[in-house]
Chain A
Amino acid sequence: MPNQPSAVETDYRETRPVSAGEHKQPQKQSESAPEAKNSSLASVARMAFSGRVEAKPSATALSVRDFSSWYGSFQALHHIDLEVPHNRVTALIGPSGCGKSTFLRWVNRMNDLIPGARCAGDMSLLGADLMSRDIDAVDLRRRVGMVFQKPNPFPKSIYDNIAFGPRLHYKLSKAETDDLVESSLRAAALWDEVKDRLKQSALGLSGGQQQRLCIARAIALSPDVLLMDEPCSALDPKATIRIEDLIVELRKNFTILIVTHNMQQAARVSDQTAFFYEGKLIEFDDTINIFTNPKSTQTEDYVTGRFG
């Protein structure tokens, strides 16, 4: 196999054969490539990439065309064109205030809560136009889950936290709910730690556990798309690693859109990366290309750390 996982990587990472001709082989990078190729970020990206499915994604989950948005008179997003692939992790990176979180919040229409927020353009999720008037925002949020920057478990028991979402939308028997809670917690890699205290308050968990709880809560609804707004920025490195591992696991079942400040994280975790700057989408490509061979100079300046 051309791409053996290196010794530092753990076993759970997938290793699959590379489809011929689909992607550049890292070893074929020329020596005279720009700085990006040789940065530590690039090597991280390479390492992460080498363990992942390389087949081109078969479907587009989120299709964005000429999308602009305003807060009052201030234009936050300018003509975004983006195709978010299905069942992959797409990272949105960029400096502060560049519109990544705004963009994320339009996907599940959380911006509706902000007075003065409006948008123009097309955004469709699995074929359904999100910006039309007929869309039921409540139902949309059932299909698009969100994990916030600061973990926000509800002041209820762990069990009730997970069951909250499904109970809103479905009629489930107690056994079904029990199963759902267990499977969600397992998928979030939290089950073993909390299985004895499901009825205790969720506020008693540590920060990392709380964030995993929020992820479990979101995936309990089997969303089509999972949005994550800087999920690890409030956590310590150890917890961050666990969440990142989780994200890579979840990728099998969900389309994940993650906003992150941390470029290493983007490199480790995502398949494709979109670089935003001042409300415009500068570049959108496979992660490995963004970090090793970015097309735009702005992107290169950002990923090499010239500005942040």
Chain B
Amino acid sequence: MIGVSSIKSATTVPVASRNRRNRMFLYTCLAFTSVSVLCLGVLLLSIFLNGTKHLFDFQITVLPHSANLVDSRLDTAKRQVKLSFVEERARTVGIETDRDLTGASVAALGADLLLRFADGSEERIATAERLVRSELDIEARRVRLTYSVPREETVGLPGNDPLEGATLKETPAGRVVLSYPDGKEQVVASRESAAGRVTMLGDLSLGSVGEFIGGSPSVDPQKAGFESPLVGTIWLLCVCAIAAVPIGIGTAVFLEEFKPTNRGLIVLHRVVATNIRNLAGVPSVVYGLIGLTVFARMFGLLGTPLDYQSFEEYKLSDGTRVVGITTDIQSDVYTLEGPFIGESRLERTAYEEIARFPDSDEVIEVTGTVEFTDDYEFRFATEQIGSFTLSPFDILSGEMIEEEPFAPRPFQATFRLEGQARYVVETVRNGRVFVPREMIRDAEQDIDKVRIRNHIFELKDGRRVVGKIPQLSDGTITVRKDLRSEPVTFSVDDIAERPNGKLAYSTKNMITILDEDHPLHIRLPMGASVLAGGLTLMLVILPVVIIASQEALRAVPDTLRQGALALGASKWQMVRTMTLPSAIPGILTGCILAMSRAIGEAAPILIIGGVTFVTFTPDNLMSGFAAMPLQIYDWLRQPDMEFQQVAASGIIVLMTVLLAFNAVAIIIRQKLQKPLN
């Protein structure tokens, strides 16, 4: 007897237990699958619900910039608010006649607007009804007429909250606010800024998706837009793709097709290939640091970029140039935070030491006023050390934590200055300011302990100011000219030139390639620019591209290569005509999937210095940028709960872009595989 039947004592494994184990295996797999599907479903559902709420939610009506609200009426039965306002609309009319206009003027007579010539004759040029003003431009032969147009807008109110007892009121900022009887407030209408967009009337509207994608980030969650992060991410991806794809494919071709025969080179080849695989698993934060050192700062060999935030430069109509970080855009008021107002552009301002930490341990008596503003900030105005602002977080005192804003009241405090150079070295590293330990202490009266997160500087002219340190170099503090700690506000009407997103650099040791207006303008060191960000992302995805391309090249059967070589193809010809075309579908799929990964990388961009509150889109390689994942992260960090929904909308947009990428990958694969069949 052959086999198992020759063993007399062999007993069979019971079939029942084997079947049971089989079933358990199946059920366990099903259970795990259900859990993951459930998690995925919950995730997608929550994102979708949150995000669409913001995208499709009630949009407030925006009144035109020049509107004057005449009346607002609440119709509780129809759940509507009727707004009557008068809008100023301007129109330019050309003067048709050929007559000489020297000494001419316009005047209204009854319902007609007349053009009076120097000789006294008149001609009607437009209607004067509801005309507010007219401006005659003799040289250009036209008249600019401004009319006041009455308009009515009806805003529907969503929800089912009872409206009895609700009141409408208009805030000084031009908003129409509906106050419910239970105290809740809802903004019904707001005034648009001169450059803003007009939204649709109340109710759910699909157009708000376009609003979201077309708008700019704002401190107001209602108005938060996604345009600059979206465009910024697309710029980043373009730079990243153009850099990564050729390098990646070239490396893969080299590693796969040009295998060495020399003993030593074989070892080197293996080392390189192994390390590329390891690099694919490196956390992307590390790449952020590499990118910062190599691309943004270029090892410090070419000078140091001034800062990693994007300053925006506005030119006001009176000629002043204001440079700062836009922290708020409300209606028509822009708020910029320091560093300075100056005449020269930040780029051409040389560093200059104008302030330093005072060297002594002296105690200063400070008198002045302090107020607690609507924005929940303490604003100090002192004679001795200038003005500065503190948030409640900076203040350590039981009695100072106020709930209600209060008007300026006098205060008196004693500040001890403990600023020393060594202090700075301990607390400031790499240009970033850490919170110094309690520099100021012991106050009297209303202030017990004040911990100020700013530093007190002593200017050359003896004045003392309080402010933030933007940059540390060589152990001395260098403060830019005219450092002020007060935010600058100006009206939108004053703006003559809007920001263009260019970064500010010191002029030392800099290399410039191509002119500033050229889209490919490059300035070294790159700083926090689109180019540096894109190249850092390239580092992140390069190993993935290389590995995917290697796999695709390996999948090409060797018979093809031999066939091509046997016909007298050189190595490069073989790769170009035979291997690469066969491998392209796999390579492209790998590249596009790598790009999908690059979209979502927030860490490297954060380290490089992409900012989150920018209103511009990059217009050349050296611009600052905002990126989608970074903006989403920033929104989620906001204390305002409404921003969670905004962030969810951002996530939806991000995922849509991702899906689009993957769809493109699939389509390309299909298209390129057809001819092979």
Chain A residues packing against B (C-beta within 8 Å)? 108, 110, 113, 115-116, 138-142, 145-146, 148, 150, 152-155, 164-165, 168-169, 201, 203, 214, 217-218, 221
Residue B582, interface by CB 8 Å: yes
Name the A residues within 8 Å of B559 (CB-CB).
148, 150, 152
Q: Are A201 and B566 in contact (CB under 8 A)?
A: no
Whether A155 pairs with B568 at a CB distance below 8 angstroms is no
| Residues of A with C-beta under 8 A to B675 | 155, 201
Is there an interface contact between B578 and A154, defined as CB atoms closer than 8 Å? yes
> Of A145, A148, A154, A169, which is in contact with the most chain B CB atoms at under 10 Å from its CB?
A154
Interface contact A201-B676, CB-CB below 8 Å: yes
Chain A to chain B: the 3 pairs with minimum beta-carbon distance, closest first: A142-B568, A141-B568, A165-B567
Whether A148 and B568, one on each chain, are in contact in the complex, defined by CB atoms closer than 8 angstroms, is no
Which of B557, B562, B565 gathers the greatest number of chain A CB atoms within 10 Å?
A: B565
Check if A141 sits within 8 Å of B677, measured CB to CB.
no
A203 touches B568 (CB 8 A): no
Q: Which residue of A lies closest to B676 (CB)?
A: A155
Are the C-beta atoms of B562 and A138 separated by less than 8 Å?
A: no
Q: Across the interface, which residues of B come within 8 angstroms of A139, CB to CB?
A: 568
- Can you identify 9 A-B contacts, CB atoms within 8 angstroms? A141-B566, A141-B569, A146-B566, A148-B563, A154-B564, A155-B560, A201-B677, A203-B677, A218-B566
Given A152-B560, A154-B578, A155-B582, A145 and B676 touching (CB < 8 A)? no
Chain A, Cβ-Cβ closest to B675:
A201
Query: Chain B residues with Cβ under 8 A from A217's Cβ?
Result: 567
B557-606 interface (Cβ within 8 A of A): 557, 559-560, 562-570, 573, 577-578, 582
CB-contact partner of B567 in A116, A153, A221, under 8 A: A221
Cβ-defined partner of A154 (8 Å) among B261, B563, B573? B563
Q: Are B562 and A221 in contact (CB under 8 A)?
A: no
Give the bracket for the number of chain B residues in contact with chain A.
20 to 34
For residue B260, give the distance in angstroms from its CB to the closest CB of chain A: 8
What is the bound-complex CA distance between A197 and B565, given in angstroms?
26
Q: Which chain B positions have C-beta within 8 A of A203? A: 676-677
Contacts of B582 in A (CB 8 A): 155
State the CA gap A221–B563 with chains docked (Å): 14
Nearest-Cβ distance from residue B670 to partner chain A, whole angstroms: 16
Residues of A within 8 A of B261 (CB): 115-116
User: Which chain B residues numbered 438 to 482 have a C-beta less than 8 Å away from chain A?
Assistant: none
Taking Cβ atoms with an 8 Å cutoff, the residues of B that contact A are 259, 261, 557, 559-560, 562-570, 573, 577-578, 582, 675-677
Neighbour of B568 across the interface among A116, A152, A165, CB < 8 A: A165
A114 CB, nearest partner CB in chain B, Å: 9
Query: CA A116 – CA B259 in complex, angstroms?
Result: 13
Please measure, in the bound complex, the distance between the C-alpha atom of A150 and the C-alpha atom of B261, giving whole angstroms: 27
User: Which one of B564, B568, B573, B676 contacts A221 once the chains associate, using CB atoms below 8 Å?
Assistant: B568
Residue of B with least CB distance to A138: B570
In the complex, the answer to whether A148 meets B562 with C-beta atoms within 8 Å is yes
A145 to B563, CA, bound (A): 10
Q: Please give the distance in Å from A237's CB to the nearest CB on chain B.
A: 23
Interface pair B567/A110, CB less than 8 Å apart:
no
How far, in Å, is B572 (CB) from chain A's closest CB? 10
CB distance from B294 to the nearest CB of A (A): 37
Q: Is the CB of A154 within 8 A of B677?
A: no
Q: A115-B261, A154-B578 are in contact. Are A108 and B560 (CB under 8 A)?
A: no
The reply to whether A138 and B569 contact each other, CB–CB distance below 8 Å, is yes
Shortest distance in angstroms between B45's beta carbon and chain A's nearest beta carbon? 45
Question: Are B563 and A152 interface neighbours, CB within 8 A?
Answer: yes
Q: CA separation between A145 and B562, bound complex, in Å?
A: 12
A22 vs chain B, min Cβ distance (A): 35
Q: Which residues of chain A are near B259, meaning CB under 8 Å?
A: 115
Additional A-B contact list (5), CB under 8 Å, known A148-B566, A164-B567, A201-B676:
A108-B566, A142-B568, A154-B564, A201-B675, A217-B567
Distance in angstroms between the alpha carbons of A148 and B567 in the assembled complex: 12
Cα A217 to Cα B563 in complex, Å, equals 10
**A residues less than 8 Å from B568 (CB atoms):** 138-142, 165, 168-169, 221
Docked complex Cα distance between A145 and B565 (Å)? 10
- B residues near A201, Cβ cutoff 8 Å: 675-677
B228 to chain A, nearest CB (A): 46
Bound-state CA distance A107–B2 (Å) is: 53
Q: Which residue on chain B has the smallest CB distance to residue A147?
A: B566
Contacts of A110 in B (CB 8 A): 562, 565-566
List the A side residues contacting B569 at CB < 8 Å.
Answer: 138, 141, 168
A287 to B675, CA, bound (A): 45
Write out the residue numbers on chain A whose beta carbons fall within 8 Å of the beta carbon of B566. Answer: 108, 110, 141, 145-146, 148, 218
**Shortest CB distance A70–B (Å):** 14
Question: B565, B568, B570: which has the most chain A beta carbons within 10 Å?
Answer: B568
B526 to chain A, nearest CB (A): 43
A302 CB, nearest partner CB in chain B, Å: 29
Q: Given contacts A201-B675, A201-B677, A203-B677, are A141 and B567 in contact (CB under 8 A)?
A: yes
